[in-house]
A and B are shown apart, each in its own frame.
Chain A
Amino acid sequence: MTAPDLLKPALYRAEGSDTDPDHPALLGGACECGHVFFPPQTYGCERCGRMSLATRALSGAGKLLASARVHLHGGKTRAAPFTIVSVRLDDGPIVRTLLAGDDAVHPGDRMVTMLVPVTNAEGAELLDLRFVPQR
Protein backbone atom coordinates (compact mmCIF):
# COMPACT_ATOMS: atom_id res chain seq x y z
CA MET A 1 0.00 0.00 0.00
CA THR A 2 1.42 3.38 -0.96
CA ALA A 3 1.22 6.43 1.29
CA PRO A 4 -1.40 9.04 0.35
CA ASP A 5 -0.24 12.10 -1.58
CA LEU A 6 0.70 15.28 0.25
CA LEU A 7 -1.84 18.12 0.51
CA LYS A 8 0.83 20.77 -0.13
CA PRO A 9 3.84 19.07 -1.74
CA ALA A 10 5.43 22.43 -2.60
CA LEU A 11 5.81 23.20 1.12
CA TYR A 12 6.98 19.94 2.74
CA ARG A 13 8.03 16.35 2.02
CA ALA A 14 7.90 13.02 3.82
CA GLU A 15 11.71 12.74 3.95
CA GLY A 16 13.69 14.67 6.52
CA SER A 17 16.37 17.27 5.92
CA ASP A 18 20.15 16.88 6.22
CA THR A 19 19.94 18.66 9.58
CA ASP A 20 17.06 16.51 10.86
CA PRO A 21 16.58 13.28 8.90
CA ASP A 22 13.96 11.93 11.33
CA HIS A 23 11.07 14.30 10.67
CA PRO A 24 9.38 15.59 7.51
CA ALA A 25 11.30 18.56 6.10
CA LEU A 26 9.79 21.93 5.29
CA LEU A 27 10.74 23.20 1.84
CA GLY A 28 12.02 26.74 2.17
CA GLY A 29 14.50 28.84 0.30
CA ALA A 30 17.90 30.42 0.73
CA CYS A 31 19.66 33.38 -0.88
CA GLU A 32 23.37 33.99 -1.51
CA CYS A 33 23.14 36.77 1.08
CA GLY A 34 22.49 34.17 3.77
CA HIS A 35 18.76 34.82 4.19
CA VAL A 36 16.89 31.57 4.82
CA PHE A 37 13.11 31.70 4.49
CA PHE A 38 9.83 29.84 4.47
CA PRO A 39 7.55 29.49 2.51
CA PRO A 40 9.52 29.09 -0.72
CA GLN A 41 9.33 31.71 -3.48
CA THR A 42 11.33 32.71 -6.52
CA TYR A 43 10.30 36.36 -7.00
CA GLY A 44 13.34 37.81 -5.25
CA CYS A 45 15.05 37.88 -1.86
CA GLU A 46 13.16 39.89 0.76
CA ARG A 47 16.42 40.92 2.40
CA CYS A 48 18.61 41.92 -0.58
CA GLY A 49 16.50 41.72 -3.75
CA ARG A 50 18.67 39.13 -5.49
CA MET A 51 16.80 36.68 -7.74
CA SER A 52 19.26 33.80 -7.37
CA LEU A 53 17.21 31.88 -4.81
CA ALA A 54 17.68 28.17 -4.14
CA THR A 55 15.28 25.75 -2.50
CA ARG A 56 16.43 24.54 0.91
CA ALA A 57 15.02 21.63 2.90
CA LEU A 58 14.58 22.91 6.45
CA SER A 59 14.64 20.85 9.62
CA GLY A 60 11.30 19.57 10.85
CA ALA A 61 12.30 20.38 14.41
CA GLY A 62 12.38 23.52 16.48
CA LYS A 63 11.28 25.31 19.63
CA LEU A 64 7.76 26.42 20.52
CA LEU A 65 7.49 30.21 20.79
CA ALA A 66 3.75 30.36 21.49
CA SER A 67 0.45 28.57 21.06
CA ALA A 68 -3.18 29.61 20.88
CA ARG A 69 -6.29 27.47 21.17
CA VAL A 70 -8.66 28.88 18.53
CA HIS A 71 -12.31 28.86 19.61
CA LEU A 72 -13.82 30.88 16.77
CA HIS A 73 -13.22 30.15 13.10
CA GLY A 74 -15.24 31.49 10.19
CA GLY A 75 -13.91 29.21 7.44
CA LYS A 76 -15.80 26.10 6.38
CA THR A 77 -12.75 23.97 5.75
CA ARG A 78 -11.95 23.28 9.40
CA ALA A 79 -13.87 23.22 12.65
CA ALA A 80 -12.86 25.03 15.85
CA PRO A 81 -11.48 24.41 18.35
CA PHE A 82 -7.97 23.73 17.13
CA THR A 83 -4.54 24.88 18.27
CA ILE A 84 -2.10 27.03 16.31
CA VAL A 85 1.57 26.87 17.21
CA SER A 86 4.40 29.27 16.42
CA VAL A 87 7.67 27.36 16.08
CA ARG A 88 11.19 28.65 15.46
CA LEU A 89 12.81 25.98 13.29
CA ASP A 90 16.34 24.92 14.16
CA ASP A 91 17.24 26.22 10.68
CA GLY A 92 16.02 29.74 11.50
CA PRO A 93 12.60 30.65 10.09
CA ILE A 94 9.50 30.90 12.31
CA VAL A 95 6.53 28.93 11.02
CA ARG A 96 2.93 28.81 12.21
CA THR A 97 0.53 25.97 11.64
CA LEU A 98 -1.72 23.52 13.47
CA LEU A 99 -0.81 21.32 16.38
CA ALA A 100 -1.62 17.63 15.88
CA GLY A 101 -3.68 16.35 18.79
CA ASP A 102 -4.70 18.06 22.00
CA ASP A 103 -1.59 17.70 24.16
CA ALA A 104 -0.83 20.77 26.27
CA VAL A 105 2.24 22.60 24.96
CA HIS A 106 4.29 25.35 26.54
CA PRO A 107 6.70 27.96 25.13
CA GLY A 108 10.19 26.46 25.04
CA ASP A 109 8.97 22.92 24.28
CA ARG A 110 10.82 21.01 21.57
CA MET A 111 8.49 20.46 18.61
CA VAL A 112 8.76 18.24 15.53
CA THR A 113 6.80 17.84 12.32
CA MET A 114 4.57 14.91 11.44
CA LEU A 115 2.22 14.11 8.57
CA VAL A 116 -1.41 13.51 9.47
CA PRO A 117 -4.27 12.26 7.28
CA VAL A 118 -6.73 14.91 6.11
CA THR A 119 -9.55 14.94 3.59
CA ASN A 120 -9.51 17.58 0.88
CA ALA A 121 -12.54 19.40 -0.59
CA GLU A 122 -13.04 16.60 -3.13
CA GLY A 123 -13.09 13.95 -0.39
CA ALA A 124 -9.65 12.51 -1.19
CA GLU A 125 -7.40 11.25 1.63
CA LEU A 126 -4.15 13.22 1.76
CA LEU A 127 -1.36 13.97 4.26
CA ASP A 128 -0.86 17.43 5.77
CA LEU A 129 1.95 18.74 7.96
CA ARG A 130 1.42 19.41 11.67
CA PHE A 131 3.64 19.90 14.72
CA VAL A 132 3.68 17.72 17.83
CA PRO A 133 5.76 17.91 21.02
CA GLN A 134 8.95 15.85 20.66
CA ARG A 135 8.84 12.65 22.71
Chain B
Amino acid sequence: MSKSLKELRPVYVVGIGLHRYQFLSDTTYVDLGLTAVRAALADANIEWPTVESAYVGRALLPMACGRPILRHLGATGIPIAHIENASASGSTAFRQACIEVASGTSDVSLALGVDKPMAIARAEGLTGIGNLADDAIAPFTHFALLADQYATQYGVRHEDIALVAVKNHRNGAKNPFAQHQKERTLDEILGGKKISGTFTSLQCTPVGEGAAAVIVASEDGIKRLGIAASRAVRVAASAGRSQKVNIDATRYDAVLTKETAEIAFRESGISPRALDIVELHDAFAVEEIEYVEAMGICGEGEAISRLKDGEFDIGGRCAVSPSGGLISMGHPIGPTGLGQIAEIARQLRGEAGSRQHAGARTGLAHMVGVGAVCYVHILQK
Protein backbone atom coordinates (compact mmCIF):
# COMPACT_ATOMS: atom_id res chain seq x y z
CA MET B 1 0.00 0.00 0.00
CA SER B 2 1.51 3.31 -1.02
CA LYS B 3 1.70 6.17 1.48
CA SER B 4 1.51 9.94 1.24
CA LEU B 5 4.24 12.19 2.64
CA LYS B 6 2.04 12.95 5.65
CA GLU B 7 1.99 9.26 6.62
CA LEU B 8 5.80 9.05 6.73
CA ARG B 9 7.95 10.73 9.38
CA PRO B 10 7.44 14.51 9.65
CA VAL B 11 9.53 16.83 7.46
CA TYR B 12 10.25 20.49 8.27
CA VAL B 13 11.63 23.44 6.33
CA VAL B 14 14.52 24.62 8.51
CA GLY B 15 16.56 26.85 6.21
CA ILE B 16 15.77 29.20 3.33
CA GLY B 17 18.03 31.32 1.16
CA LEU B 18 17.81 33.25 -2.08
CA HIS B 19 19.88 35.08 -4.60
CA ARG B 20 17.78 37.98 -5.85
CA TYR B 21 16.00 37.26 -9.13
CA GLN B 22 17.39 39.64 -11.75
CA PHE B 23 17.81 40.28 -15.44
CA LEU B 24 20.63 38.40 -17.21
CA SER B 25 23.98 39.56 -15.82
CA ASP B 26 27.62 38.51 -15.66
CA THR B 27 26.99 36.75 -12.34
CA THR B 28 27.93 33.11 -12.79
CA TYR B 29 25.46 30.36 -11.92
CA VAL B 30 28.04 29.26 -9.32
CA ASP B 31 27.74 32.61 -7.54
CA LEU B 32 23.94 32.52 -7.80
CA GLY B 33 23.75 29.03 -6.31
CA LEU B 34 26.35 29.56 -3.58
CA THR B 35 24.66 32.76 -2.40
CA ALA B 36 21.36 30.91 -1.94
CA VAL B 37 22.83 27.82 -0.26
CA ARG B 38 25.04 29.82 2.12
CA ALA B 39 22.03 31.93 3.08
CA ALA B 40 19.95 28.80 3.73
CA LEU B 41 22.71 27.25 5.88
CA ALA B 42 22.99 30.48 7.87
CA ASP B 43 19.21 30.62 8.25
CA ALA B 44 19.15 27.07 9.63
CA ASN B 45 22.32 27.79 11.63
CA ILE B 46 23.94 24.54 10.50
CA GLU B 47 27.19 23.71 8.73
CA TRP B 48 27.38 22.29 5.20
CA PRO B 49 28.77 18.87 6.27
CA THR B 50 25.51 18.17 8.13
CA VAL B 51 23.59 18.13 4.82
CA GLU B 52 23.26 14.52 3.64
CA SER B 53 21.88 14.87 0.10
CA ALA B 54 21.16 17.51 -2.53
CA TYR B 55 18.55 17.86 -5.26
CA VAL B 56 19.29 20.54 -7.83
CA GLY B 57 16.36 21.87 -9.86
CA ARG B 58 17.20 23.52 -13.16
CA ALA B 59 15.61 23.62 -16.58
CA LEU B 60 17.90 25.82 -18.67
CA LEU B 61 21.46 25.29 -17.39
CA PRO B 62 23.29 22.42 -19.09
CA MET B 63 23.91 18.95 -17.68
CA ALA B 64 25.33 18.51 -14.17
CA CYS B 65 25.44 22.06 -12.81
CA GLY B 66 25.14 20.94 -9.17
CA ARG B 67 28.64 19.88 -8.18
CA PRO B 68 30.37 22.85 -9.86
CA ILE B 69 28.39 24.94 -7.34
CA LEU B 70 28.36 22.74 -4.26
CA ARG B 71 32.05 21.74 -4.30
CA HIS B 72 32.92 25.27 -3.14
CA LEU B 73 31.18 24.58 0.17
CA GLY B 74 33.67 21.76 0.75
CA ALA B 75 33.16 18.57 -1.25
CA THR B 76 31.57 16.24 1.28
CA GLY B 77 30.77 13.49 -1.20
CA ILE B 78 26.98 13.54 -0.68
CA PRO B 79 24.67 12.27 -3.42
CA ILE B 80 23.64 15.04 -5.84
CA ALA B 81 20.73 14.55 -8.25
CA HIS B 82 19.51 17.00 -10.87
CA ILE B 83 15.82 17.56 -11.45
CA GLU B 84 14.47 18.93 -14.73
CA ASN B 85 10.72 19.39 -14.72
CA ALA B 86 10.21 22.59 -16.71
CA SER B 87 8.78 25.40 -14.57
CA ALA B 88 8.15 22.92 -11.76
CA SER B 89 11.83 21.87 -11.51
CA GLY B 90 12.39 23.59 -8.15
CA SER B 91 9.08 22.32 -6.75
CA THR B 92 10.01 18.80 -7.81
CA ALA B 93 13.48 19.07 -6.25
CA PHE B 94 11.74 20.13 -3.03
CA ARG B 95 9.37 17.16 -3.19
CA GLN B 96 12.26 14.73 -3.70
CA ALA B 97 14.20 16.21 -0.77
CA CYS B 98 11.08 15.93 1.41
CA ILE B 99 10.50 12.32 0.37
CA GLU B 100 14.13 11.49 1.15
CA VAL B 101 13.86 12.89 4.68
CA ALA B 102 10.37 11.49 5.27
CA SER B 103 11.52 8.02 4.22
CA GLY B 104 14.41 8.11 6.70
CA THR B 105 17.12 7.94 4.04
CA SER B 106 18.47 11.34 5.18
CA ASP B 107 17.89 13.57 8.19
CA VAL B 108 18.88 16.75 6.37
CA SER B 109 18.50 17.38 2.64
CA LEU B 110 19.01 20.40 0.40
CA ALA B 111 16.85 21.46 -2.54
CA LEU B 112 18.55 24.08 -4.68
CA GLY B 113 17.08 25.79 -7.74
CA VAL B 114 19.34 27.74 -10.04
CA ASP B 115 19.11 28.94 -13.64
CA LYS B 116 20.26 31.57 -16.09
CA PRO B 117 18.44 32.63 -19.27
CA MET B 118 19.54 30.40 -22.15
CA ALA B 119 18.14 29.14 -25.41
CA ILE B 120 15.20 26.86 -24.63
CA ALA B 121 14.84 23.60 -26.55
CA ARG B 122 11.59 21.77 -25.81
CA ALA B 123 11.50 18.02 -26.34
CA GLU B 124 7.89 18.22 -27.47
CA GLY B 125 9.18 19.77 -30.70
CA LEU B 126 11.35 16.71 -31.38
CA THR B 127 8.69 13.98 -31.21
CA GLY B 128 8.25 13.76 -34.97
CA ILE B 129 4.56 14.62 -34.52
CA GLY B 130 3.61 17.56 -36.74
CA ASN B 131 1.88 20.76 -35.73
CA LEU B 132 0.06 23.52 -37.56
CA ALA B 133 1.83 26.59 -36.17
CA ASP B 134 3.30 25.87 -32.73
CA ASP B 135 6.25 28.16 -33.50
CA ALA B 136 3.75 31.05 -33.55
CA ILE B 137 2.15 30.15 -30.20
CA ALA B 138 4.53 31.16 -27.41
CA PRO B 139 3.42 30.58 -23.79
CA PHE B 140 2.17 34.19 -23.58
CA THR B 141 -0.15 33.49 -26.51
CA HIS B 142 -1.36 30.21 -24.99
CA PHE B 143 -2.39 32.17 -21.89
CA ALA B 144 -3.68 35.15 -23.88
CA LEU B 145 -6.07 32.72 -25.57
CA LEU B 146 -7.15 31.39 -22.16
CA ALA B 147 -7.65 34.98 -20.94
CA ASP B 148 -9.94 35.65 -23.90
CA GLN B 149 -11.82 32.41 -23.15
CA TYR B 150 -12.19 33.30 -19.44
CA ALA B 151 -13.29 36.87 -20.18
CA THR B 152 -15.95 35.57 -22.57
CA GLN B 153 -17.17 32.81 -20.25
CA TYR B 154 -17.59 35.05 -17.22
CA GLY B 155 -18.25 38.39 -18.91
CA VAL B 156 -15.28 40.12 -17.29
CA ARG B 157 -13.20 42.92 -18.76
CA HIS B 158 -9.59 42.32 -19.70
CA GLU B 159 -8.67 45.37 -17.59
CA ASP B 160 -9.99 43.48 -14.57
CA ILE B 161 -7.63 40.57 -15.24
CA ALA B 162 -4.76 43.10 -15.21
CA LEU B 163 -5.61 43.91 -11.58
CA VAL B 164 -3.69 40.74 -10.68
CA ALA B 165 -0.55 42.49 -11.92
CA VAL B 166 -1.32 45.66 -9.91
CA LYS B 167 -1.51 43.58 -6.70
CA ASN B 168 1.55 41.47 -7.46
CA HIS B 169 3.77 44.42 -8.44
CA ARG B 170 2.64 46.12 -5.20
CA ASN B 171 3.75 43.03 -3.24
CA GLY B 172 6.98 42.63 -5.18
CA ALA B 173 7.91 46.25 -4.48
CA LYS B 174 8.36 45.17 -0.85
CA ASN B 175 10.43 42.07 -1.65
CA PRO B 176 14.21 42.61 -1.77
CA PHE B 177 14.59 39.36 -3.75
CA ALA B 178 12.10 40.36 -6.49
CA GLN B 179 13.23 41.11 -10.03
CA HIS B 180 10.67 43.93 -10.36
CA GLN B 181 10.49 46.06 -7.19
CA LYS B 182 8.23 48.87 -8.31
CA GLU B 183 4.53 49.56 -7.70
CA ARG B 184 2.56 50.03 -10.92
CA THR B 185 -0.80 51.64 -11.55
CA LEU B 186 -3.42 49.94 -13.68
CA ASP B 187 -2.88 52.60 -16.35
CA GLU B 188 0.86 51.94 -16.37
CA ILE B 189 0.25 48.22 -16.75
CA LEU B 190 -2.37 48.57 -19.49
CA GLY B 191 -0.28 51.18 -21.32
CA GLY B 192 2.86 49.03 -21.43
CA LYS B 193 4.34 47.21 -24.38
CA LYS B 194 1.77 44.99 -26.09
CA ILE B 195 2.75 41.32 -26.07
CA SER B 196 -0.16 39.09 -27.08
CA GLY B 197 -3.92 39.41 -26.89
CA THR B 198 -4.62 41.91 -24.13
CA PHE B 199 -1.41 41.11 -22.25
CA THR B 200 1.13 43.88 -21.85
CA SER B 201 4.67 43.25 -20.62
CA LEU B 202 3.89 43.97 -16.94
CA GLN B 203 1.19 41.28 -16.95
CA CYS B 204 3.82 38.73 -18.00
CA THR B 205 6.67 37.26 -15.96
CA PRO B 206 10.08 38.71 -16.84
CA VAL B 207 12.92 36.53 -18.15
CA GLY B 208 15.63 36.38 -15.51
CA GLU B 209 18.16 34.51 -13.41
CA GLY B 210 18.52 33.69 -9.72
CA ALA B 211 18.72 30.94 -7.14
CA ALA B 212 16.69 29.65 -4.22
CA ALA B 213 17.67 27.06 -1.62
CA VAL B 214 15.59 25.22 0.96
CA ILE B 215 16.93 22.85 3.62
CA VAL B 216 14.53 20.26 5.01
CA ALA B 217 15.08 18.14 8.10
CA SER B 218 13.51 15.41 10.23
CA GLU B 219 12.74 15.82 13.93
CA ASP B 220 15.83 13.70 14.64
CA GLY B 221 17.92 16.07 12.54
CA ILE B 222 16.47 19.13 14.22
CA LYS B 223 17.24 17.77 17.69
CA ARG B 224 20.69 16.41 16.83
CA LEU B 225 21.83 19.65 15.17
CA GLY B 226 20.21 22.01 17.67
CA ILE B 227 18.09 23.70 14.99
CA ALA B 228 15.54 26.15 16.42
CA ALA B 229 12.31 24.12 16.37
CA SER B 230 10.32 27.32 16.88
CA ARG B 231 11.28 28.46 13.35
CA ALA B 232 10.74 25.08 11.67
CA VAL B 233 7.78 24.86 9.28
CA ARG B 234 6.05 21.52 8.75
CA VAL B 235 5.54 20.19 5.23
CA ALA B 236 1.92 19.07 5.56
CA ALA B 237 1.39 17.76 2.03
CA SER B 238 3.20 17.11 -1.23
CA ALA B 239 1.38 16.26 -4.45
CA GLY B 240 2.46 15.94 -8.07
CA ARG B 241 0.42 15.08 -11.17
CA SER B 242 0.72 15.16 -14.95
CA GLN B 243 -1.77 15.93 -17.69
CA LYS B 244 -4.45 13.43 -18.70
CA VAL B 245 -6.82 13.59 -21.67
CA ASN B 246 -9.21 16.46 -20.96
CA ILE B 247 -12.43 17.43 -22.68
CA ASP B 248 -11.21 21.03 -22.74
CA ALA B 249 -7.77 20.20 -24.06
CA THR B 250 -6.40 23.73 -23.80
CA ARG B 251 -7.26 24.38 -20.14
CA TYR B 252 -5.05 21.56 -18.88
CA ASP B 253 -3.17 23.76 -16.39
CA ALA B 254 -6.33 24.66 -14.49
CA VAL B 255 -7.65 21.09 -14.64
CA LEU B 256 -4.32 19.76 -13.33
CA THR B 257 -4.24 22.44 -10.63
CA LYS B 258 -7.65 21.37 -9.34
CA GLU B 259 -6.71 17.70 -9.32
CA THR B 260 -3.29 18.19 -7.68
CA ALA B 261 -4.50 20.71 -5.08
CA GLU B 262 -7.33 18.37 -4.08
CA ILE B 263 -4.79 15.64 -3.30
CA ALA B 264 -2.76 18.07 -1.19
CA PHE B 265 -5.84 19.32 0.68
CA ARG B 266 -6.90 15.74 1.40
CA GLU B 267 -3.41 14.77 2.58
CA SER B 268 -3.05 17.78 4.88
CA GLY B 269 -6.62 17.93 6.14
CA ILE B 270 -6.52 21.66 5.40
CA SER B 271 -9.36 23.14 3.35
CA PRO B 272 -8.73 25.67 0.56
CA ARG B 273 -10.63 28.39 2.39
CA ALA B 274 -8.45 27.94 5.47
CA LEU B 275 -5.26 28.97 3.64
CA ASP B 276 -3.55 32.17 4.76
CA ILE B 277 -0.89 32.32 2.03
CA VAL B 278 -0.84 31.09 -1.56
CA GLU B 279 2.11 31.32 -3.92
CA LEU B 280 1.06 30.18 -7.39
CA HIS B 281 2.25 30.08 -10.99
CA ASP B 282 1.11 33.54 -12.08
CA ALA B 283 3.45 33.78 -15.07
CA PHE B 284 0.58 35.55 -16.88
CA ALA B 285 -2.14 37.51 -15.09
CA VAL B 286 -5.05 35.25 -16.04
CA GLU B 287 -3.35 32.28 -14.40
CA GLU B 288 -3.90 33.62 -10.88
CA ILE B 289 -7.60 34.08 -11.66
CA GLU B 290 -7.93 30.55 -13.04
CA TYR B 291 -5.93 28.83 -10.31
CA VAL B 292 -7.51 30.40 -7.22
CA GLU B 293 -10.83 29.20 -8.61
CA ALA B 294 -9.46 25.76 -9.56
CA MET B 295 -8.06 25.32 -6.03
CA GLY B 296 -11.40 26.24 -4.48
CA ILE B 297 -10.10 29.36 -2.70
CA CYS B 298 -13.15 31.03 -4.23
CA GLY B 299 -15.98 29.84 -6.46
CA GLU B 300 -15.80 29.64 -10.26
CA GLY B 301 -16.16 33.04 -11.88
CA GLU B 302 -15.71 34.82 -8.52
CA ALA B 303 -11.98 35.58 -8.56
CA ILE B 304 -12.21 39.05 -10.12
CA SER B 305 -14.76 40.33 -7.62
CA ARG B 306 -12.79 38.83 -4.70
CA LEU B 307 -9.62 40.42 -6.05
CA LYS B 308 -11.36 43.80 -6.30
CA ASP B 309 -12.61 43.40 -2.72
CA GLY B 310 -9.00 42.97 -1.54
CA GLU B 311 -9.47 39.38 -0.37
CA PHE B 312 -6.18 38.33 -2.00
CA ASP B 313 -4.16 41.29 -0.70
CA ILE B 314 -1.64 41.00 2.12
CA GLY B 315 -3.94 41.52 5.10
CA GLY B 316 -6.94 40.18 3.18
CA ARG B 317 -8.64 36.81 3.64
CA CYS B 318 -5.83 34.92 1.86
CA ALA B 319 -2.67 36.66 0.63
CA VAL B 320 -2.05 35.43 -2.92
CA SER B 321 1.50 35.89 -4.21
CA PRO B 322 2.74 38.07 -1.31
CA SER B 323 6.26 37.65 -2.76
CA GLY B 324 5.10 39.43 -5.91
CA GLY B 325 4.60 36.10 -7.64
CA LEU B 326 6.12 35.23 -10.99
CA ILE B 327 4.86 38.51 -12.47
CA SER B 328 6.88 40.67 -10.09
CA MET B 329 9.33 38.49 -8.15
CA GLY B 330 10.20 36.72 -11.38
CA HIS B 331 10.47 33.24 -12.82
CA PRO B 332 14.06 32.15 -13.37
CA ILE B 333 12.59 28.61 -13.85
CA GLY B 334 14.72 26.29 -11.68
CA PRO B 335 14.55 28.47 -8.54
CA THR B 336 10.91 29.56 -8.81
CA GLY B 337 9.16 26.74 -6.93
CA LEU B 338 11.76 26.92 -4.14
CA GLY B 339 11.44 30.69 -3.92
CA GLN B 340 7.75 30.09 -3.22
CA ILE B 341 8.60 27.72 -0.36
CA ALA B 342 11.03 30.32 1.04
CA GLU B 343 8.35 33.03 0.93
CA ILE B 344 5.76 30.84 2.64
CA ALA B 345 8.22 29.76 5.36
CA ARG B 346 9.12 33.41 5.94
CA GLN B 347 5.45 34.36 6.20
CA LEU B 348 4.56 31.48 8.55
CA ARG B 349 7.51 32.35 10.81
CA GLY B 350 6.31 35.97 10.92
CA GLU B 351 9.58 37.16 9.40
CA ALA B 352 8.28 38.76 6.19
CA GLY B 353 8.74 42.35 7.36
CA SER B 354 6.73 44.96 5.47
CA ARG B 355 4.90 42.34 3.41
CA GLN B 356 3.95 40.17 6.42
CA HIS B 357 0.42 38.73 6.30
CA ALA B 358 -0.56 38.91 9.98
CA GLY B 359 -1.28 35.64 11.72
CA ALA B 360 -0.30 33.39 8.78
CA ARG B 361 -0.41 29.71 9.82
CA THR B 362 -0.89 27.78 6.57
CA GLY B 363 0.46 28.29 3.06
CA LEU B 364 0.23 26.58 -0.30
CA ALA B 365 2.86 26.56 -3.07
CA HIS B 366 1.77 25.71 -6.63
CA MET B 367 3.66 25.37 -9.88
CA VAL B 368 2.67 24.08 -13.28
CA GLY B 369 5.18 23.28 -15.98
CA VAL B 370 5.06 22.48 -19.66
CA GLY B 371 4.36 18.84 -20.27
CA ALA B 372 2.08 19.52 -18.49
CA VAL B 373 2.91 18.80 -14.86
CA CYS B 374 1.68 20.30 -11.60
CA TYR B 375 3.16 20.27 -8.08
CA VAL B 376 1.47 21.48 -4.90
CA HIS B 377 2.91 21.69 -1.38
CA ILE B 378 1.17 22.79 1.79
CA LEU B 379 3.18 24.17 4.71
CA GLN B 380 1.90 24.65 8.23
CA LYS B 381 3.20 26.31 11.40
Contact = CB atoms under 8 A, between A and B. Distances in A.
Interface string A92-123: 01111110000000111000000000000000
B145 A84 contact: yes
B149 A72 contact: no
B195 A71 contact: yes
Contact of B138 (A39, A66, A73): A73
Given A39-B129, A70-B141, A82 B194 contact: no
Contacts of A75: 135-136
A107 B196 contact: no
B138 A74 contact: yes
Interface string B136-166: 1110110011101100100000000000000
B63 interface: no
Contacts of B136: 70, 73, 75, 78, 82, 84, 97-98
Nearest to B204: A72
B250 A68 contact: no
Given A77-B135, A84-B141, A65 B130 contact: no
Interface stretch (A14-22, A40-48, A54-62): A40-48
Q: How large is the interface on A (under 10, 10 to 19, 20 to 34, 35 or more residues)?
A: 35 or more
A66 B137 contact: no
A107 B130 contact: no
B1 interface: no
Given A70-B141, A107-B148, A96 B133 contact: yes
A107 B149 contact: yes
A35 B141 contact: no
Nearest to A81: B194
A129 B127 CA distance: 21
Nearest to A47: B245
B131 interface: yes
A43 B128 CA distance: 10
A11 B194 contact: no
Interface residues of B, number: 27
Given A35-B245, A96-B132, A69 B196 contact: yes
A40 B149 contact: no
A32 B76 CA distance: 55
A54 to B, nearest CB: 16
A2 to B, nearest CB: 24
B132 A66 contact: no
B308 to A, nearest CB: 23
B133 A71 contact: no
Contact of B152 (A40, A46, A66, A96): A66
Contact of A107 (B129, B152, B245): B152
Interface in A23-40: 35, 39-40
Contacts of B140: 72
Most buried by B among A40, A41, A67, A84: A84
A89 to B, nearest CB: 11
A10 B194 CA distance: 34
A96 to B, nearest CB: 6
B242 to A, nearest CB: 12
Contacts of A46: 245
Nearest to A71: B194
A47 B249 CA distance: 12
A69 B194 CA distance: 10
A8 interface: yes
Contact of A39 (B132, B137, B152, B197): B132
B129 A66 contact: no
Nearest to A10: B130
A66 B141 CA distance: 11
A130 B332 CA distance: 35
B132 A68 contact: no
Given A39-B130, A70-B141, A73-B138, A65 B196 contact: no
23 contacts: A8-B132, A11-B132, A43-B127, A66-B148, A67-B197, A68-B141, A68-B196, A68-B197, A70-B196, A72-B193, A72-B194, A75-B135, A78-B135, A78-B136, A84-B145, A86-B145, A86-B250, A96-B137, A97-B132, A97-B133, A106-B152, A107-B148, A129-B132
- Give the 5 A-B CB pairs with smallest separation, nearest first: A68-B197, A68-B144, A66-B148, A97-B132, A71-B194
Interface of B: 127, 129-133, 135-138, 140-141, 144-146, 148-149, 152, 193-197, 245, 248-250
Given A70-B138, A72-B195, A74-B138, 7 more contacts: A11-B130, A41-B127, A46-B245, A67-B197, A73-B138, A84-B141, A86-B145
